[in-house]
Structure 1
């Protein structure tokens, strides 16, 4: 699976209320994000930034990407380690610090809760998080800490 992979995403602003960006309060922050062959995803800015809080926003999507990337990398790491995972859920939390007109993520903390098939697998299941973190493309691409705070239970 080595090599270069390209991902194409179309983002179309759908928030013109008839006067374009004539003023800060005069336009909607609605956007449609599309990938060929997949359902369109209506997104917006987060509510504090005059967006629609009912829609996904860029910050949600980045935290989701980190959580999913770790999950998928973790499942692979567990296969490699002989760990049988029967359930996995995460309650990921990202923190953004806003200063003036800009801001940045301070950190994202993943809280994976994993269930394994047998008690003999717990130590390897905990250790597999380090490999998963090392292998996650998204975590390797961001300039802020991504911490993992796992819990491993036995089925």
Structure 2
């Protein structure tokens, strides 16, 4: 049986510097991403596209969502399989290729989960659960580029 889940976000541009989009350099790429009562995320474009490096770019958020989804599945699978995780970090990386006409696409994302287990003897079983988490991840199943798990 399949079920649908619906999500709604609001993106609000906050970058009018007084001239609107009168010119390419006349406006800021700043915006806010919000959803319901959650705190807003400050967004911008990547600095390569005149964005603010202190704010989240769509590219950052895409890589982060892949890492989050994998982590949440992995933690769930560990919990139901009796493996106690005591720490988890992931320094995920993504590669986006820009084409001559200014378009582009992600070509890959690599997750680098570093996991601490209460019982290191269960490392092989945990590695198997990484494979299963990758297969189950909603976000990884939704993108049209390779997602690798290096860990």
Q: TM-score by structure 2 length?
A: 0.95
1:4-153 matches, cutoff 5 A = 4-99=4-99, 100-150=101-151
Query: How far is 1:133 from its partner?
Result: 0.5
- TM superposition shift of 1:23: 1.2
Aligned-residue RMSD, C-alpha: 1.3
Q: Which runs of 5+ in 1 are unaligned?
A: 151-155
Task: Give the SS at the match of 1:61.
Answer: helix
SS of structure 1 residue aligned to 2:53: coil
Shift of 1:44: 0.2
Distance between the aligned counterparts of 1:49 and 1:33, measured in 2?
18
Q: What secondary structure sits across from 1:115 in the alignment?
A: strand
Matched pairs, number: 150
Q: Using the alignment, how far apart are the partners of 1:95 and 1:46 within structure 2?
A: 13
Deviation string 1:64-88 (CA, Å, 9 cap, x unpaired) is: 1000100000011112332111111
Whole-angstrom CA distance in 2 between matches of 1:112 and 1:85? 12
Which of structure 1's runs of 4+ aligned residues deviate more than 3 A? none
TM-superposed deviation, 1:2: 5.5
Alpha-carbon shift at residue 3 of structure 1 (Å):
1.4
TM-score (normalizing by structure 1)? 0.92
Per-residue displacement from partner, 1:98-144 (whole Å, max 9, x unpaired)? Answer: 11210011100000011111133111001000110011111011000
Query: What SS is found at the alignment partner of 1:128?
Result: helix
CA distance in 2, matches of 1:23, 1:119: 58
Q: Distance in 1 between matches of 2:38 and 2:104?
A: 31
